[in-house]
Structures are given as C-alpha cells and as structure tokens.
C-alpha cells in the first residue's frame, strides 16, 4: 500500500486527519468559550479540508479550468455561506 | 511506464508516476462531473435550509445540538478519511495493473462505508429511544434530513465501489472502463467531502 501512495497523498491524508482532530477540539471548545470564534475556525479548517480532498484525492489540480473553477466556487460558497449564515443566527 | 489502456486510447494513458509531466485531464468523464456537481449543489441547498431554520430559532438549535455526540462525529470523519485513502490507493493499483491488491483496497474502502452506515444506524436508534424523532422539532427534522440524505449517498457510493471492485479484478481496462472507475472514485470522495462540512455543521457548531 505504501508503495502506491506518493509522499504528497500521504502528507495530504495526514494533514486531513490532523485538521480533523483540531476541528473536534475546537468544537468541544476546549479552552474556547466563544461559539463565533470556534465557528470561524471550523469553517476555515473545513475549507482547507474540502480543497485538499478535491485537489489531491479527486485529482482536480490537473483538471480543465471550467471544472476547477466550479469546484473552487462550490468550496468558497459552501464554507463561506455556512459561516455567514451561522454568524447571522 | 505501465498503462492500463488498450486500443485507440492507449496514447492518452494517464501517467502513474508523479515525476512525469502532469497533463490537464478530467478525472472520470465530463458527464460524471455534471452528476457529482449536481449532488454537491443539492447539499449546498440543504446546508442553507438547516441554517435558515437555525436563524429562525437559534435557541432551539443551541439546546438541541449538544445532544448529538461530537466524538461519534469525529469517528465518522476518520472512518471516511480512511476509506478515501483506500480508494486513492485502489485507483493507483488499478493504474499499475496490480489486480491482486486493487480489489482488496476497494473492499477495505467499502468496509469503512459499511461501518459508517452501521454506526449511523446505532446513532439514530439512540436518538429515537430518547424520543428525538424527525418530528420533535426543527433541529431534529433537519438532523435526520441531512444525515439521512448523506447516508443515502454513502449507500449509492457503496454500489459504485462494488462496480469498481469487479473492474479492478480485470487485467486490462479500456479508456471508457477506467473513466467509469475514476468517476466512481470521485463520487466516493464527494461523499467524504460533503461530510467534511456536515461534521462541523451538525456536531460542532453549537
């Protein structure tokens, strides 16, 4: 298995796991009392994660411009929109 | 450099070696992406509906949301990340015509998917036993709608993985067959990607 995965994919996966652990920590508010600060952190981390999955696992980093633009737009709207609507609540 | 393609598409084989020059290419085929992007738009709308309802009654969401298990949400995320890694490995194994390993990596990914569904059923059973049903209040309605819709997509993804496992056992795939396999892989990664948003939305952002 390790021979099939290059360093980039391995690093990306490790980063995804690490970011997930940080997100969980933010969510249980270990040391953070402000839900809005936690929400900003969670959505920024979420944005990083969805892009990592799209670019490196879905292999969109080599995709045609139209597909890359649509994917990036979805990431921005999803994470930014979720954060904005959460902050309005 | 090994290639999985035969026939007229052999010249457009995808390099399996990272060191070779990267070419612009669509993973899977264009039609698959119209489907995947459409699904992603559906979830975008569901995220918005969840949050619009939160805006209408934030205190309801603040009191209901702590009842979902954050640690279980973490487990779901890690299970799906492992499954995605196995799918990446499986695709690479198919590219290198490793018919011994490729199917098993995809089986591993499918096992992760089954674990996810099993845990989801346990979670729902727990909430139903606590009288937290789809009609209890707006939070629980959207909790079941969002997690149920996602679980449905996991089940569809398991179907794609089954197809990919069968294809992975073949010694050679033509361009069309490999495009379908890649499309299935992208669908599975989409399921993981959607959960990346759902996890904080439902479990962490109180």
Note the ipTM here.
Answer: 0.92
Q: Are B54 and B135 in contact (CB under 8 A)?
A: no
Cβ contacts (< 8 Å) between A58 and chain B: which residues?
27, 185-186, 189-190, 193
What's the pLDDT score for residue B96? 92
What's the pLDDT score for residue A38? 86
What's the pLDDT score for residue A28? 82
pTM for the structure as a whole = 0.89
DSSP class of residue B135?
T
Please name the member of B27, B54, B101 whose beta carbon is closest to the beta carbon of A59: B27
CA atoms within 13 A on the CB side of A2: 0
Which tokens is B47 given? 């995220």
**Residue reference for tokens 């990596």:** B105
Question: Is B26 in contact with A46 (Cβ distance < 8 A)?
Answer: no
The whole-angstrom separation of Cα B189 and Cα B81 is 9
Mutating which of B62, B102, B200 best tests the A interface, going by the most A Cβ atoms within 10 A? Answer: B200
Number of other residues whose CB lies within 10 A of the CB of residue A33: 7
CA B135 to chain centre: 28
Cβ contacts (< 8 Å) between B27 and chain A: which residues?
58-60, 63
Question: What residues of chain B score a pLDDT lower than 50?
Answer: 1-20
What's the pLDDT score for residue A33? 61
CA B136 to chain centre: 29
What's the pLDDT score for residue B4? 35
pLDDT at A1 over 80: no
What's the pLDDT score for residue B23? 79
CA atoms within 13 A on the CB side of A66: 5
What digits encode the pLDDT tens for the residues A38-89? 889 999 999 999 999 999 999 999 999 999 999 999 999 999 999 999 999 8
Cβ contacts (< 8 Å) between A26 and chain B: which residues?
204
Average predicted confidence (pLDDT) for chain B: 89
Question: Is B37 in contact with A74 (Cβ distance < 8 A)?
Answer: yes
What digits encode the pLDDT tens for the residues A3-51? 666 889 999 999 999 999 999 988 887 545 688 888 899 999 999 999 9
């Amino acid at each position: 298995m390790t021979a099939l995965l290059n360093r980039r994919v391995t690093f990306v996966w490790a980063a995804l796991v690490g970011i997930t652990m940080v997100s969980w920590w933010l969510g249980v508010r270990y040391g953070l009392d402000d839900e809005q600060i936690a929400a900003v952190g969670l959505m920024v981390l979420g944005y990083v994660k969805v892009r990592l999955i799209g670019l490196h696992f879905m292999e969109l980093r080599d995709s045609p411009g139209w597909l890359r633009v649509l994917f990036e737009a979805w990431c921005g709207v999803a994470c930014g929109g979720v954060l904005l609507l959460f902050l309005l609540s | 450099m090994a290639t999985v393609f035969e026939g007229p598409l052999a010249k457009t084989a995808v390099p399996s070696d990272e060191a070779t020059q990267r070419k612009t290419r669509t993973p899977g085929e264009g039609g698959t992406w119209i489907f995947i992007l459409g699904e992603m738009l559906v979830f975008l709308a569901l995220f918005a509906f969840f949050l619009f309802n939160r805006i209408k009654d934030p205190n309801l969401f603040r009191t209901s949301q702590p009842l979902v298990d954050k640690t279980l949400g973490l487990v779901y995320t890690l299970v799906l990340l492992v499954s995605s890694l196995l799918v990446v490995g499986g695709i690479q194994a198919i590219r290198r015509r490793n018919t011994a390993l490729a199917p098993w990596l995809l089986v591993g990914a499918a096992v992760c998917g089954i674990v996810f569904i099993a845990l989801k059923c346990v979670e729902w059973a727990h909430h139903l036993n606590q009288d937290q049903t789809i009609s209890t209040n707006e939070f629980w309605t959207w909790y079941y709608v969002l997690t149920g819709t996602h679980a449905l997509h996991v089940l569809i993804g398991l179907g794609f993985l089954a197809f990919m496992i069968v294809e992975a056992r073949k010694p050679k795939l033509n361009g069309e067959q490999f495009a379908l396999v890649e499309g299935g892989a992208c669908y599975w990664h989409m399921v993981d990607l959607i959960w990346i948003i759902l996890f904080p939305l439902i479990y962490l952002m109180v």
